Structure 1
Amino acid sequence: MRQVEVNLQTYPATNLGDDLFAFILSQRYTNTFHVSRLTHKSSFSGVPNVIPSRSAVGELLFKILNRLLPRWKDHFRAKTIRQQDIFAVAGGSIFMYQNNLDFWERERDFYLGLNRPVYVLGCNITDEGPEAFKSAIREIARSCVDVTVRDEATLEFFDRAPNVRLLPDLVFALEMDEFQTDRIEGSALISVVDGYRFGEEIGNSYFQGLSEMVKQLLAENRNVTLMSFCSKEGDETGIEHLLDASGLVPCDQLSVYCYDGDIAEALRTIGAADLVIGSRFHANILGLLSGAAVLPLSYSSKTPRALRMAGIECPVTPLQECGLGVLTEDHQARLTSSEIASLRNRAEEHFLALDAVLERR
């Protein structure tokens, strides 16, 4: 009997958090996942059941159509997806208005006319956008077989519909054991973003506060790693801004790690840290899974909402408020092994609907 094949939509840029969605699915199932806009990414070069859904020429045609003839792009995209049996969307912050109502009305029409079972895993919404945008998103959700969300606000947005389920973030389902390395006692890993993406005032305060924290950690003779999760979104630029603001340069005690698609290496890097300061949401999740102390920072409502839903009880500090005042145990969380196991079991419920149609390893 032929295996069910999956067309999987993920964030196209090399981003550790989003790449983990596809990685977790590929490790759970033996089925083949056809992923769009994958030809330029190295993240899955060694994963045999994750393959591009379009050739390099097809990707180029898609980009041209997207710019010049978006309706034809939707037709081309639907034709590609219908070559597989089901359509899965690896979630995250996928429902963002971005001042583009026309896009979301076309996206609604696309989903309603796809004629394939649709599964959305681990999504959240933002609070922005007009009622027409919100109506389009609700119609998309109603058309899906299963939708899992990672915060209470998103569940309420979808009116607690019977096909919408609230669960801890999908990445809590990751098995970290094989990536665990010997933890370096006292070591710290800081995931850095480009704070200037959120305005000059926030950027200035963020980099000033973060530089104070780095200097204090170094003064305590800790090894510090500055980590970029996504170059395209400016994390590497953020590290440059931080080094400029602090006057520090990389050395034996201060290193820089930039994720470039090697998922295992990135997970081992995080797993070695005793303290994770997470500007990136998934830096906090991965730190908690590895048993590290985590000090969460936030640039949106996503982080406090999703951590609260997972039962993580500690303050979440806005980027512009970071500094020595929050570098305390009162602002940190650390999970026990039993708490990690419980969260992992709950997060695996994201796959209940897919388990009915796909084949487990």
Structure 2
Amino acid sequence: MTTVMTDCYLSHNLGDDLFLTTLISRYPHVQFMVSADRSYVFLRGMFPNVNLLIQPNHCSNLISKSFWYFIKKYRHNKATRLSDVLVTIGGSLYWEQSGNKSVKARIDEARRLHGDRRKAREAKHHIVIGANFGPWHSDNFLNYYRDYFAYNCDDVCFRDRYSANLFSDVPTVHMAPDVLFGVQLPQVPKCHKAFFSVIDPHHPKYCMSSTQADAYDWMMVALMQRYAARGYELVLCSFCQAEGDERTMERLSNIMHEQGISVRLLRYRNDIREVLEELTSSEVVVGSRFHATILGLSAGAAVLPVMYSAKTAHVLEDIGFDMGHTIDLKTDGWKDKPAEMLPEAICFDVTAQQAGAAGQFAALDHLVRGR
């Protein structure tokens, strides 16, 4: 049996969890090694072909943290050496912090870059699936990963042309539509319902000022008022508790409650199917989360992408989506606009992307079949 060591981001984020479960379910006769804490034990019940390398959830002091860091690194390296292939799967895996970096930021970045190369060197084969590149701000960063992809990876499949074109001189680099375009969605009837995926604009990863964060909240309120006035049931969904989605959900829910508008709350807590059923049965999806947009398009909903990062724009431009029906949080054009001035959600055919998403797995398919 082929053994795969997985390298992925696990923090109970719906999109990243779906990356992993899509990978595992595609290869039922492959043994997957997954390094995670005990909160991911539920994977054992879902997949008999998963071997969890359990890490501690919390470490109380510096000595304990250091001890478990080296234990985790040792176990990961050993599992990688024993596996037939290392699969790195995820979205925004290769990014560089902007501006003047603090000493800590420089150390963290150096550790991350060194860690990527170390893991790849331990592997017999190394395949990267589903990623995008950036944001990046220096030629040193770009050139580091040009060498990395050329000499430490058997295959790198990006999800957007922008990323792939940055490394057009590297033969192992190519692109295919996002992995989650290929997810098998539940067969459920559509309801007169609007599904809102939120982010926490106060979270450091979004680099938004308090004024911008407040403006985001009120824009989402305006959109919910729009669809409530049209008779839609409203569902607010958190994709990632750890990144603060639920705080935003509670804030917006309280505002709507004060206005006498009913909103149903949905918290992702490892039940992937629950969220997919709610999203797939919705006629409208307002997607602040990248994968809310991808899944909404796949479900045939009218989608309004709310973009916090260029990665969403790159993918939507690749497929020919009308960018006039998006909201770019990195610009000022959306701020303080009444609902009637904000873009409308639209439907867009992604049949080609749904078929093409299998291309993300082409290299791994070939390797598994050849064993």
TM-score range, shorter chain: 0.7 to 0.9
Deviation at 1:269, TM superposition (A): 0.9
Distance of 1:149 and 1:326 partners within structure 2: 35
* Contact kept? 1:125, 1:154, Cα under 8 Å: yes
Give me the whole-angstrom Cα distance separating, in 2, the residues matched to 1:57 and 1:211. 40
Would you say the 8 A contact 1:208–1:246 is kept in 2?
no
Equivalent-residue separation in structure 2 for 1:8 and 1:275 (angstroms): 34
Confirm whether residue 196 of structure 1 aligns to residue 194 of structure 2.
Answer: no
Are residues 1:161 and 2:167 paired? no
Hey, what's the Cα distance between the residues in 2 that align with 1:244 and 1:290? 29
Measured against aligned partners, the alpha-carbon deviations of 1:159-180 in whole angstroms (never above 9, x if no partner) come to: 342111121111111122xx12
SS of aligned partner of 2:157: strand
TM-superposed CA distance for 1:247, in Å, is: 5.0
Corresponding residue of 2:312: 303
Deviations 1:58-95 (A, max 9, x none): 9979x978647967754442123223211101120011
Specify whether residues 80 and 240 from structure 1 end up closer, same or farther in structure 2 by C-alpha distance, changes over 3 A only.
same
Partner of residue 128 from structure 2, selected from 109, 120, 125: 120
Contact kept? 1:195, 1:206, Cα under 8 Å = yes
Which shifted more, 213-222 or 127-136?
A: 127-136
Query: Hey, what does 1:93 align to over in structure 2?
Result: 92
Q: Say whether 1:277 aligns with 2:286.
A: yes
Contact 1:108 1:137 in 2 (8 A): no
Determine the C-alpha separation between the residues in 2 that align with 1:64 and 1:180: 50
The 3 A distance-change label for structure 1 pair 10 and 182 is same
TM (norm. structure 2) is 0.84
User: Does 2:230 align with 1:223?
Assistant: no
The answer for the alignment partner of 1:139 in structure 2 is 147
What TM-score results when the alignment is normalised by the length of structure 1? Answer: 0.87
| Unaligned runs of at least 5 residues, structure 2 | 98-104
| Conservation of the 8 A alpha-carbon contact between 1:16 and 1:229 | yes
Kindly tell me: are residues 309 and 259 of structure 1, through their superposed partners in 2, closer, same or farther at Cα, counting changes over 3 Å? same
Is the Cα–Cα contact under 8 Å of residues 300 and 347 in structure 2 kept in the other structure? yes
8 Å CA contact retained: 2:37, 2:57: no
2:362 counterpart (352, 356, 359): 352
Of 32-41 and 230-239, the range deviating more from structure 2: 32-41
Higher mean displacement: 36-45 or 296-305: 36-45
Equivalent residues of 1:42, 1:261 under 8 A apart: no
User: How far is 1:295 from its partner?
Assistant: 0.4
Corresponding residue of 1:180? 187
Q: Percent of aligned pairs with the same residue?
A: 27
Instruction: State the AA in 2 paired with 1:18.
Output: D
User: What amino acid sits opposite 1:120 in the alignment?
Assistant: V
Partner of 1:78: 77
Given the superposition, is the C-alpha separation of residues 148 and 359 from structure 1 closer, same or farther in structure 2, using an over 3 Å criterion?
same
2:249 matched to 1:239?
yes
Distance of 1:160 and 1:326 partners within structure 2? 44
Contact 1:105 1:133 in 2 (8 A): no
Q: Which moved more, 1:207-216 or 1:109-118?
A: 109-118
The one-letter amino acid paired with 2:9 is: Y
Q: Secondary structure at the match of 2:82?
A: coil
Please give the alpha-carbon distance, in whole angstroms, between the structure 2 residues aligned to 1:293 and 1:238.
23
Larger relative CO (CA 8 A, sep 6+): 1 or 2? 1
Please tell me the root mean square deviation across aligned C-alpha atoms, in Å.
2.8
- Asked whether the 8 Å contact 2:6–2:34 carries over to 1, the reply is yes
Shift of 1:132: 3.1
**Which 10-residue stretch deviates more, 275-284 or 239-248?**
239-248
Shift of 1:48: 1.9
